[in-house]
Amino acid sequence: MAKVNRLTVDGRDYFLPDPVTELKKEILEAIKDGGGYVTIPPLRGGPGIDILFSPGMPVTWSQFDVGSGEAPAGAGDHAADDAAIVDDYPEI
């Protein structure tokens, strides 16, 4: 199983690969210095995103395990058919 970290900043979630130790230190330093930009790396490829961290900004870390991407035994080729589909748009 892989570990994925969720960083929630001011109500927005960012998903990050392990390890996040250095990133946590950078964010803490930016806040201690009165504010500053920290580059949040992407979960999969890309340039990442710069976020301005400042004292008093709500920041929450959480970590969880995710599956290996393999279907459970006996699921066959229909594992994707069991996924929930959410339609936020009403039919016209």
E-strand spans in the chain? Answer: 2-9, 12-17, 36-40, 49-53, 59-66
Nearest alpha carbon to residue 60 among 18, 24, 22: 24
Q: What is the pTM of this model?
A: 0.65
Which residue carries 């990133």 as its tokens? 23
Per-residue pLDDT of the chain (92 residues; tens, 9 = 90+): 678 899 999 899 998 888 899 999 999 999 999 999 999 988 788 888 999 999 999 899 999 887 765 555 554 444 444 444 444 544 44
